[in-house]
Structure 1
Amino acid sequence: MTETPNIAHWFGADLAPGESANTELQVTESYSGRNISIPIRVCRGLTDGPTVFVTAALHGDELNGTGAIRMLIDNDDWKLQSGTVLMIPVLNPLGFEQHSRYLPDRRDLNRCFPGTVSGSMASRLAKVIFDSVITQCDFGIDLHTAAVRRTNFPNVRANLEHPDCLRLATAFGCGILLHGNGPKGSLRLEATKAGCPTIVVEGGEVWKVESSVAECMTRGILNVFKELGMMDGEQDLPDSQVTLRETKWLRAERGGFMSLHVAPGDSVEKGQAIATNSSLLGEEKGRLVTPFSGIVIGMTTLPAVQPGEPVVQIGRLADPKSARRHAKQVAGDDVQRTAHEHLATNIHVTEPSEEEPNKQEPPAK
C-alpha cells in the first residue's frame, strides 16, 4: 500500500477520504494456471486513523463470520469517521470452494503463518496474506466457528496479558473472554507478534450462517471501531464479562447414544449432570458430570459417541456463584440471550432421569 496526498492505494483501488471500494488480492494459482484471489472490501474514513482487518473463513467451512461481514457490507447505517477497514469475507478461497476447513493439500492454513515464499502451497498462501494484509494493519479481528460436528457459544479468544488485545477483546462485547496466545502458526498469534494485536471470535457451527451468531459478531465489530475512535456512538456492551483461563473437554467413557442435559452458553455447577450415555434401546450406561463449576463453551452436535470422543467443553469458573452471575448476565443482554436461546434449539436437551447411572466424572485438574 502506498499513499499520495488524500489518496490511498489498496490492492489496485484508489480511495479518497470517505470512499469504499471492492477489490481483490491475488494469492495463488489454480491447477489450470488461473489466478485465485480473495475479495476485499476497503472502507476509508474521513480522517486518518488505525487500519483494522476483519477476516472470516480462514477455515473454509466456517461461514458465520462470512455472513457477519456481508451484513456489514450491505448495511449503510454505519459510517466510518476515521481510519481504514479491510473486510475479507473469505480468507481461504480454496477451502471455501470445497466446503472444507483445509486446503487441497490437507494443510490447515491457520497453522502456517507467517508463511514462506518457497514452502508448501499453504505456506506460500499464508505469506502473501501476511505480507499484503496483516502487516499493513494496526489491529485485527478474525472470525471463526467450531469445528465440524460441534458448536460454540460466542466468545472472544485473545492473549489477555497483551494490553491492546485485552482492549479489543473487552470492547468487542462478548460475555466470555478466553485467555490464550493461540496455536503455533495461527494468524492471531503471529499477527500479534508482528505488531498487529489480533483477537479471534468463535461462535456457532460450520457450513451455515446463524443469524444470532452473526448478530453477536456484527455488534462486536462495530463496538471495536467505536473503541478505536473510528466511529461515533456508544458501544453496546453487556453489564459484565467473565474471563476464563482454563477449559476442559469432557469425553465419553462409554460408546453409545448421548442424551445431552446442557446447551451452549449454559452455566453449570460442580457435579451437575452434563450427558447420559445409553444403548440404542435406552439402556443407560453412565453419566457425565462436570468436575468444576463453569460455562458450556462448546459441545458436540453428534450424539453418537465412542469412548474418548469429546462431548462438552467447559470453561472453568471460580465457584457456583460465578456460574450464577454469568447466567444472569446472559439473560440481561439481548444479543447473548438470543444466541443462547437459538443455539439451544440446535441441541436436543433433556432432563436427566431421577435414577442416576454410574457417574463418568473426569478428574479435575
Structure 2
Amino acid sequence: MPVTQTEVLHILGEQVKPGESKEVNFDVANLHTSSPVHIPVIIERAKKQGPTILFTAGIHGDEVNGVEIIRQLIAKGINKPKSGTIICMPVINIFGFINLKREFPDGRDLNRVFPGSPSGSLAGRVAYKLMDEVIPHADLIIDFHTGGSGRFNAPQLRYAKEKTDLDILAKVFGAPFVLYSKNLSKSFRATCNKLGKPLLLFEGGKSFHIDDVVTNSGVNGSKRILKHFGMLRTVFKSSKPKTECVFINDSKWQRAKYSGMFKASIPIGSYVKKDDMLGNITDPYGKFNYFVRASNTGYIINVNESPIVYQGDALFHISTKLKRQ
C-alpha cells in the first residue's frame, strides 16, 4: 500500500495538517424545503506518517447497520490513528437516510451511477464528488453494507475473485466469510477498482436493522486492519477472530417451491449437508406444511427473514464451492 506523506491534506475545500482533527462538509444540494444538508466527513490525522484509510457507509439510505459500525469507530475514538490518516463518512446517501429509503430522491441507486457526473442527476453528482474529491486521497477503502429486502447476511467481505491481493487483508479483517463476487457495472467498488484503489466491501445484517453480532464483526475487523498498518493506538485491543475465515468461490440461492408463511429454523452461518431441514412454509389455515431442505452441502450465508414468501422467492444463499487455503 502507498504511504501518504505527512503534508497538508487538501480535501473538500479544507486543509487538514498532520496531527489535526477536522470535520468537513460533503455538501451537494439542499432539501426541497431549501434547508441545507450537511454531510459530515470526520478526518483524524496523526503526526506520524502512514497510509490513509477511508471508512464509508450509507451508500444505501436504509442500510443503517453500516452507519452504526462507523459511528462506534468515531464514538470510541478508534478513528484517531497512531499514524497516518483516517477518514470516516458514516452516511453518504443522507437523502435516503433521512427517509429510510435505499435510493436517492431522484429514484436512482447511488451504487449504480458511479463514477457520476458534475452535471447529472443528484445521485450522479454525489458519486462524482466522492470520486473526484475524496477517493484520490485514500490508500484503502472499507465500505459497509447490509442485506436488503428482509434478507439477513452473515458478516462477510466481498470483492472480485481476481483480486487475490485482497486475500491477505481479508484474513486480517477476520469476517467469518469472504464471498468472491463480480464487480457490478457502475458500482462504487468497480469504479474504485478501475482507479487502482483497493476496497473491501463488508456485508452484514439487513436493512432497517442494527444487529450486535454484525456490528461487532465490523468494528473488530476495522481494528484489526488498523493494527495491521500500525495505526491502532495501544489503548485499544485487537482480538483474534473466533473462527477461521471461509473463502467462497461460488454460491447459489435456494428458492421457494411454494408461496406461504415462511420461517427459517437454521442459524445464519451454519454449515449444512444436502437434505438437512432449513425451515418450513405453511399456509394461514393449518392445512399445508412444506419442509424446506438444503439443495446442497455448504454454508448458509444469507437467510430471507420475511414471514411471507412467494413461489420463486430467494430463501437461503448457500455456498457451493470453497477456495482451498
TM-score, with length taken from structure 1? 0.80
Asked if structure 1 preserves the Cα contact closer than 8 Å seen for 2:21 and 2:44, the reply is yes
Structure 1 counterpart of 2:287: 283
Over 3 Å counting, the alpha-carbon distance change for 1:173 and 1:5 in structure 2 is closer
1:299 equivalent among 268, 283, 303: 303
Matched to 1:236, the amino acid is S
Which moved further from structure 2: 256-265 or 62-71? 256-265
Q: Does 1:245 align with 2:249?
A: yes
- Distance between the aligned counterparts of 1:311 and 1:189, measured in 2? 27
2:239 equivalent among 236, 249, 261: 236
Matched to 1:129, the amino acid is L
C-alpha deviations, 1:230-288, integer Å up to 9, x for none? 23668533252110021211111111112322121111111212222222133335332
- Distance between the aligned counterparts of 1:94 and 1:189, measured in 2? 23
Matched to 1:100, the amino acid is K
2:261 equivalent among 251, 257, 263: 257
Over 3 Å counting, the alpha-carbon distance change for 1:318 and 1:71 in structure 2 is closer
Q: Does 1:137 align with 2:144?
A: no
Q: Secondary structure at the match of 2:217?
A: helix
Over 3 Å counting, the alpha-carbon distance change for 1:182 and 1:4 in structure 2 is closer
Structure 2 counterpart of 1:325: none
Deviation at residue 10 of structure 1 after TM alignment: 3.2
Which moved further from structure 2: 295-304 or 281-290? 281-290
Over 3 Å counting, the alpha-carbon distance change for 1:192 and 1:318 in structure 2 is closer
Q: Does 1:190 align with 2:191?
A: yes
Structure 2 counterpart of 1:173: 174
Q: Does 1:149 align with 2:150?
A: yes
Matched to 2:259, the amino acid is G
Q: Secondary structure at the match of 1:97?
A: helix
- Distance between the aligned counterparts of 2:6 and 2:148, measured in 1? 45
- Distance between the aligned counterparts of 1:5 and 1:17, measured in 2? 6
Deviation at residue 102 of structure 1 after TM alignment: 0.7
Matched to 1:194, the amino acid is L
Matched to 2:96, the amino acid is G
Deviation at residue 89 of structure 1 after TM alignment: 0.8
- Distance between the aligned counterparts of 1:81 and 1:9, measured in 2? 21
Matched to 2:279, the amino acid is A
- Distance between the aligned counterparts of 2:272 and 2:167, measured in 1? 26
- Distance between the aligned counterparts of 2:132 and 2:83, measured in 1? 23
Asked if structure 1 preserves the Cα contact closer than 8 Å seen for 2:264 and 2:303, the reply is no
Structure 2 counterpart of 1:122: 123
Q: Secondary structure at the match of 1:274?
A: strand
- Distance between the aligned counterparts of 1:155 and 1:193, measured in 2? 23
- Distance between the aligned counterparts of 2:294 and 2:115, measured in 1? 38
Structure 1 counterpart of 2:27: 26
C-alpha deviations, 1:282-331, integer Å up to 9, x for none? 33353322222111111111121111111111122459xx9xxxxxxxxx
Over 3 Å counting, the alpha-carbon distance change for 1:5 and 1:157 in structure 2 is closer
- Distance between the aligned counterparts of 2:5 and 2:315, measured in 1? 55
Task: State the Cα RMSD in Å.
Answer: 2.4
C-alpha deviations, 1:111-138, integer Å up to 9, x for none? 1111122322222221111111122211
- Distance between the aligned counterparts of 1:134 and 1:5, measured in 2? 18
Asked if structure 1 preserves the Cα contact closer than 8 Å seen for 2:8 and 2:16, the reply is yes
Asked if structure 2 preserves the Cα contact closer than 8 Å seen for 1:227 and 1:235, the reply is no
Over 3 Å counting, the alpha-carbon distance change for 1:4 and 1:45 in structure 2 is closer
Over 3 Å counting, the alpha-carbon distance change for 1:163 and 1:255 in structure 2 is closer
Alignment of 1:319-358 (within 5 A): none
Over 3 Å counting, the alpha-carbon distance change for 1:160 and 1:4 in structure 2 is closer
Asked if structure 2 preserves the Cα contact closer than 8 Å seen for 1:138 and 1:195, the reply is no
- Distance between the aligned counterparts of 1:189 and 1:228, measured in 2? 24
- Distance between the aligned counterparts of 1:144 and 1:37, measured in 2? 22
Q: Secondary structure at the match of 1:128?
A: helix
Structure 1 counterpart of 2:65: 64
Which moved further from structure 2: 309-318 or 90-99? 309-318
Asked if structure 1 preserves the Cα contact closer than 8 Å seen for 2:63 and 2:207, the reply is yes
Which moved further from structure 2: 203-212 or 219-228? 203-212
Which moved further from structure 2: 297-306 or 113-122? 113-122
C-alpha deviations, 1:323-345, integer Å up to 9, x for none? xxxxxxxxxxxxxxxxxxxxxxx
Q: Secondary structure at the match of 2:39?
A: strand
Matched to 2:313, the amino acid is E
Q: Could you tell me the percent identity over the aligned residues?
A: 31
List gaps (5 residues or longer) in structure 1: 323-365
Structure 2 counterpart of 1:345: none
Q: Secondary structure at the match of 1:37?
A: coil
Deviation at residue 171 of structure 1 after TM alignment: 1.6
Q: Secondary structure at the match of 1:103?
A: coil
Matched to 2:320, the amino acid is R
